[in-house]
Amino acid sequence: MALKKGFKAMMQEASERIHGLAPSKANEAVYQKDVVLVDIRDVRELEKEGHIPGAIHAPRGMLEFWVDPDSPYYKPVFKAEKQFILYCQSGWRSTLATATLLDMGFEEVMHIEGGFNAWKAQGLPVEPYARGN
């Protein structure tokens, strides 16, 4: 089966319309009260490698359901008057997730370029993950 559009094309299209932050800039932003840092990685990744302090966990597979007030899975932390910074392991999933949230009507959403790998490479803070964060 030939795909109509592969992940490379999807990533390129998303990248052209979203905003990314370098890890150092994201590190500055996460200390602002109107910013919510969202880790969209699988829980097994968080348990193995830790996460960025203060980040909430919203698995990529549930993100659309958690942000939509009409969903039975809605999480109030996703009130639209906040700024959201998403991240995954390398920036691929967060690129697509950021574009999805823009499509859903979020205006203040961006992602960390290079994801958690880039964050760690710059020596920025990481802490162990405990379920319920």
Catalytic positions, written as ranges: 88
What is the CB neighbour count within 10 angstroms for residue 129?
20
DSSP secondary structure of the chain: ---SS-HHHHHHHHHTTS-EE-HHHHHHHTTSTTEEEEE-S-HHHHHHH-B-TTPEE--GGGHHHHH-TTSTT--GGG-TTSEEEEE-SSSHHHHHHHHHHHHHT-SSEEEETTHHHHHHHTT---B---TT-
Closest CA relative to residue 38, chosen from 51, 20, 21: 51
